[in-house]
Amino acid sequence: MKAFLIKKEIIATETLALQFEAENPIEFQAGQYGIFELIAPPFTEEGKPNKRVLSFASSPKESPLFTIATRKSPSAYKRSLAILEKGQAIELGRIGGNFLLPTNTDRPLVLIAGGMGITPFISMLKTIIDIKRPYQIKLFYSNHSRKTAAFYDELVLYENSLPNFQYIPVLNERFSSSILKKYVPDILTPTYMLVGPPPMMDTVLPLLITEGIPQSDIITEKFSG
Ligand SMILES: Cc1cc2nc3c(=O)[nH]c(=O)nc-3n(C[C@H](O)[C@H](O)[C@H](O)COP(=O)(O)OP(=O)(O)OC[C@H]3O[C@@H](n4cnc5c(N)ncnc54)[C@H](O)[C@@H]3O)c2cc1C
């Protein structure tokens, strides 16, 4: 279905949040992605599709409004998306994904995001605020710097609206066992959710396994193309 651009905002260095209104109500669960296709984009690359997989960064309750967020890049897709104007449409294709909040709220959750991997967690946090369920959450968010950390201020505000939520920005350093253990002394108790670009996933997942966290306690989503 078509979705029309309502708002475009710079939320970090080279990072955009785009809010759309779909022509019909949409259904998704926090953590899921959509396939977003540009319609007659100004830039194209031969042999490369005009569509990308992008996670929702809004609560399903906001439907037919929804938000996506992405880093700018030299790709034709990203250059075209960056200059999309208010009122212009994109095509929202299939919605899917199994990167979902566990239903059990008794067990604490440790969320670990790198770069744009923060988007599904924003959707989850907004949803938890909407449904008022007592999740206990620690969120580690790795970025090169404060300037490249998307949704930074919003995450700080969530610490006020969510009673059992702690935001731990990991800036100018790599996520490590010592950072994890500093904030999560009993590392075997929580369920882990891990999302980000392949290089981050390929280092953080083995780190958690090496620390003895069973793979069955780690839910992952790799932001590969
Ligand atoms: C589940 C999931 C959720 C994601 N959520 C987000 C999100 O919320 N925000 C975000 O910014 N990114 C997200 N991504 C990553 C996103 O899909 C893009 O891969 C990423 O943003 C880089 O896009 P690009 O245009 O800059 O890079 P590019 O490398 O130019 O494009 C990557 C895409 O192009 C395809 N492609 C590349 N080269 C070719 C070729 N020669 N022929 C055919 N196809 C080619 C790839 O398969 C891939 O789809 C997500 C990925 C996944 C899998």
> In which residue are the tokens 């007592």 written?
134
Ligand 1 atom closest to Cα of residue 120? 8
User: For the chain, how are helix, strand and coil distributed in percent, rounded to 5?
Assistant: 30, 35, 40
**Binding site membership of 225 for ligand 1 (Cβ less than 6 Å):** yes
Beta-bridge partners for 66: 20
Residue type present at position 183: Y
Query: Looking at ligand 1, which atom is closest to the CA of residue 74?
Result: 26
pLDDT at 132: 87
Report the residue among 14, 44, 48 best suited for mutation to probe ligand 1: largest number of ligand atoms under 8 A from its CB.
48
pLDDT given for residue 225 in this prediction: 65
The pLDDT tens digits for 201-212 are: 999 999 999 999
Contacts with 107 (C-beta within 8 Å, 6 or more apart), sequence order: 189, 190, 191
- Element containing residue 88 per DSSP (H, E): none
For the segment 134-159, the average pLDDT, to the nearest whole number, is 95
**Tally of CB atoms within 10 A around 113:** 29
Backbone angles phi, psi at 214, to 5 degrees: -65, 140
218 lines ligand 1 (CB under 6 A): no
- C-alpha of residue 77 to centroid of ligand 1, in Å: 9
All structural domains of the chain: 2-96 (2.40.30.10), 109-222 (3.40.50.80)
pTM of the complete model: 0.95
At residue 190 the predicted structure's pLDDT band, cuts being 50, 70 and 90, is very high
Best CA proximity match to 51, nearest among 35, 66, 67, 40: 35
Least confident of 120-124, 132-136, 165-169: 132-136
Work out the percent of the chain whose per-residue pLDDT is above 90: 96
Spatial contact of 121 and 57, defined as CB atoms under 8 Å apart: no
Nearest-CA residue for atom 51 of ligand 1: 223
Q: Would you state the structure tokens that stand for residue 34, as one six-digit string?
A: 């959509």
Nearest CA residue ID for atom 40, ligand 1: 48
Q: What is the 78 CA–ligand 1 centroid distance (Å)?
A: 10
Strand partners, 141: 113, 169
Distance 225 CA to ligand 1 centre (A): 3
State how far the alpha carbon of 25 is from the alpha carbons of 22, 37, 130, in Å: 7, 18, 18
Question: For 34-41, what is the mean pLDDT?
Answer: 97
pLDDT (tens digit, 9 = 90+) per residue, 83-123? 999 999 999 999 999 999 999 999 999 999 999 999 999 99
Cα distance from N-terminal residue to C-terminal residue, the chain: 22
